[in-house]
Structure 1
């Protein structure tokens, strides 16, 4: 707990320094505190260039941060969060301390020179590097090290966005991937400490200043639900487009990596010249969209332009997050959608800004698949509680739709493309790398669904498995019944209790013969009894049985080698 407070203080100071660096470099490259608030204006430092200075700003920025990243910390390139997720999942929470310094300078230079990215990815990586460094200095165990990394990520989010709750949930939902009382307590302590420092520096105000919104008609919930589904499609589309552009940049570039951001900055400069509203993070443009300041056509142009500008910034080697661009894209989508439904249903649609706000959270949830974080962070960023119900509805639908469209998120897809599975074993690890088919046991005799519970109890007690597969009259697998479920059913009142095994059978999380053992362990640990059926990957029929004993034998054999 004491270390969490120390990390929170360090990350809070780091967030203050990081934001100061962004403001300084933005003023240096553009001559404005935030060029997105004055799109198309000239740079007071070089007024003779007029608005064409944006062609040179990304080039000059790339000449500075390109060599810096390439020489000192290549992991500082990109949006940062996937690297932290990988460090926690497979590297024991170890992150090089130099990442904090390099990421601060590289991301501030990227954003200040026009890079169309956000600051949440960098501050997560900066805070996490601080947590990892402190964990190594104090020689903590690996589990504690991972928790300190999460504390650093939570503190960074909390300080830079004045969102302590969102910081804690971000760390648990995306970085740790698990919820526990200990993790919540530690990350909240770090978040609160960082928020106190952040509020002392930036003030205790909502990050976005938006007007009040209200839901006046029940029919609006249906409109918000449709927006959630559309936002998931846009969020996943943004994720795919991001890596498509990165692949194109990789294919086109044949020179030294340190020079890539500068040369690619020419292409980014052309986008900024055409749409100066995409310069930097773009919060002033986002706020104007929520106030109904743009026409539908221009909103859709800004949506596409932000996707392109962000993808180019990452593709040429820039350093910055994708959270803020997701909010920007969501605001453009929601505002355009709000204007459209207001035109179609003027009496019931309600305020356009409400759809912009909901679109922000839904696109982020669709891209990241972090619904709790999306709800909490949108509430804390805006201070708008009146919109919480439609926000929750749209975010849940966006998350569910996103899961149907893809197994990966905008964060995990980056790692998957590099051949890294966060749920699989670390590269080179022998333990857990075996496939389930190589370690499974023969399938126990299944129980017919028509078996009486009393008979099933006898068969379960003799099987030694604590659970058995169940098949229907046609012999098709329908699930598993556990001894505990049968015993509980027999103990119930006669009128209410089920009488047949088929009424109690439930399918556990599917485990297939071609899965790595490390993935199947999650299903095995959560299943009733002492094992789960192993399914044929093509037909979905049980072909074996994975028990705790067989899994332990495989792990022990791998460790012995």
Structure 2
């Protein structure tokens, strides 16, 4: 059952249902703890009022709420599931990339409690990281119980992540693309089908509990002037920088907390909660996720200077919450930052170009997606979730423009995202081998084989066909008159060219006319990085170039990579045939 296609579908549905029920429980926990600690359903929108449970403290109760919350979730995380600390998504990405999808089953319960306590007691983090980790742990646990293969285990983890996002945010499409783009980091028909089933099942349960409404109430979106597209593109550039800036500050503050703290880890959230309490006293809008504040910003109810203050406050409050050991996501904070940035930018454009800029809310919505894309570098997820939040098709063009621009700026400014940087700081490369893996730590020049003879760029097609017929690779390199590497030519390309010119044997066509430029490797590249290119390449091997990428020095094939496991030092003995009888 577990290996049949229908069995995968059944498991995906079960995981989606479980993630949907988990999201209901998780949101109830957040609501309950927020009410207990603050006396309000969402204190961020309460304007710094007193807690009705302890009215004599006035607004100063926020100095104690994070401390008490830290005393509760600090020991819980330290004792039962240390991976529940932080924003969660990097741990799921690592489990899929290098641990065969195996996640500690304790994570589901510990993460739900720790994150709900963190958010309820004032931690300025989101709920997407926790629900992704909760759903993924559920998928991994079910995979272990049913003893599925490693490939399907990873897929079940992604199903749990998709189901959690879909149910929590009432965004089934965003759940699918979040799982595919960030967790699996690949797209296949089988994976897409399973993840969709899980997302649908979770969404049905989530809508039955929460209603078929978006988790945010946002204003209608309109593009009134074609010149606004230029303004949206400029906003994307700024948002990409803000996304990377948030990522850097997040880990700078975490480093500072690591450097300053010398006590037991279970006590760190409580002591650090004093600092967080000071931030909340100055800016109570930072309490919890902050959706009411986000909605007001999108409606244009704040002045530009205050919006920028809220942006800086969110960066500080979220970074401090994570740095002291809190548990929660960075997805919702990045949406918050984007809304503040976009609304402030829109207000500024209205002052400069009153007849062209349009409504502030439009820039707030686009800024939400652009900052998230700049921080996470997940442009498809960013576009889809903002579309699902608004239901406005008119948002698509400006949103796509700003998000792609923000993603491009993010790539220029940083190698890593808000998710992968956490892992790289621990010496983990998602594209590299798992620690202790027997294959991947070598360099390409240690395992490559001799390159096949290069063809001249001006060789006739008939001569090229003859050379390819004698080659074991089905592809040959091509070099110019100076011996510099130009590209490769494949047997398939030659066969198609000859078929297009029946009877002429390709007269007039030269090797240079059919040259392709596949992904090329350098001799000093780690084998782990080269393997990703080799696996995704449809041919039998890839050219290896020198450091200047001008001359061919070798050829990497699947066989030569596998020989790194058992290098041959001497020819294997050839056994003589045994006479019959």
TM class, shorter-length: over 0.9
Listed one character per residue, the Cα deviations across residues 30-83 of structure 1 (whole Å, up to 9, x for unaligned) are 111101111311111122222111111111111111011001100000000110
Among candidates 271, 284, 288, match of residue 292 of structure 2? 284
Measured against aligned partners, the alpha-carbon deviations of 1:345-393 in whole angstroms (never above 9, x if no partner) come to 2222221111111111111111111111111111112322221111112
Preserved CA contact (<8 Å) 1:117 1:321: yes
Task: Please report the TM-score for the alignment, with normalisation by the length of structure 2.
Answer: 0.92
User: Does residue 544 in structure 1 map to residue 554 in structure 2?
Assistant: yes
**Residue 383 of structure 1 aligns with which residue?**
391
Distance change in 2, residues 1:525/1:485 (3 Å): farther
- 2:181 counterpart residue number: 173
Give the whole-Å Cα distance in 2 for the aligned partners of 1:473 and 1:35. 73
Structure with larger Rg: 2
- Output one character per residue of 1:297-327: Cα deviation in whole Å (capped at 9) or x when no partner: 1111111111111011001000000000110
Q: Does 1:156 align with 2:164?
A: yes
Which deviates further from its counterpart, 485-494 or 495-504? 495-504
Q: Aligned partners of 2:468 and 2:332: how far apart in 1? A: 54
Deviation string 1:17-39 (CA, Å, 9 cap, x unpaired) is: 11011011111111111011113
Take 1:345 and 1:471, find their aligned partners in 2: how far apart are those partners? 56
Structure 1 residue runs without a partner (length 5+): none
**1:46 corresponding residue in structure 2:** 54
Other-structure match for 2:11: 3
Q: Deviations over 1:118-163 (max 9, x none)?
A: 0000000001111111111111111121111111111111111011
Contact 1:482 1:528 in 2 (8 A): no
Shift of 1:539: 5.8
- What is the number of residues matched between the two proteins? 558
1:201 aligns with 209
Contact preservation (8 Å) 1:371, 1:395? yes
Q: Give the match for residue 520 of structure 1.
A: 530
TM, length-normalised to structure 1: 0.95
CA contact (8 A) 1:447 1:469 kept: yes
Q: Name which of 50, 62, 83 aligns with 1:75.
A: 83
Query: Which residue in the other structure is 2:543 paired with?
Result: 533
**1:409 corresponding residue in structure 2:** 417
Identify which range, 56-65 or 525-534, moves more after superposition: 525-534
User: How many angstroms does 1:266 deviate by?
Assistant: 1.1
Matches within 5 A, 1:75-474: 75-474=83-482
Deviations 1:209-258 (A, max 9, x none): 11211112222112111211221111111111111111111111111100
SS of equivalent to 2:34: helix
Does structure 2 conserve the Cα–Cα contact (< 8 Å) formed by 1:489 and 1:497?
Answer: no
* Cα distance change, pair 540–79 in 1 and its aligned pair in 2 (3 A): farther
Cα shift at 1:541: 4.1
Aligned equivalent of 1:508? 518
Provide the secondary structure at the position in 2 that maps to 1:432.
coil
Q: 1:32 aligns with which of 21, 25, 40?
A: 40
Q: Do the aligned partners of 2:484 and 2:552 also contact (CA within 8 Å) in 1?
A: no
- Unaligned stretches of 5+ in structure 2? 1-8, 569-581
Superposed displacement of residue 557, structure 1: 5.2
Contact 1:489 1:498 survives alignment (8 Å): no
Q: Report the alpha carbon displacement of residue 166 of structure 1 after superposing the two structures with TM.
A: 1.0
Change (3 A) 1:540 1:207: farther
SS in 1 for 2:521: coil
| Aligned 8 A contact 1:508 1:523 in 2 | no
Identify which range, 546-555 or 165-174, moves more after superposition. Answer: 546-555
Q: Assess if the C-alpha contact under 8 Å between 2:483 and 2:551 holds in 1.
A: no
Secondary structure in 2 matching 1:554: coil
Report if aligned partners of 1:432, 1:555 keep a CA contact under 8 Å in 2.
Answer: no
Distance (Å, rounded) in 2 between the aligned partners of 1:297 and 1:510: 50
Contact 2:460 2:508 in 1 (8 A): no
**Contact persistence 1:467–1:528 (CA under 8 A):** no
Do the aligned partners of residues 498 and 318 (structure 1) sit closer, same or farther apart at CA in structure 2, a change above 3 Å counting? farther
- Return closer, same or farther for 1:497/1:98 CA change in 2, 3 Å cut-off: farther
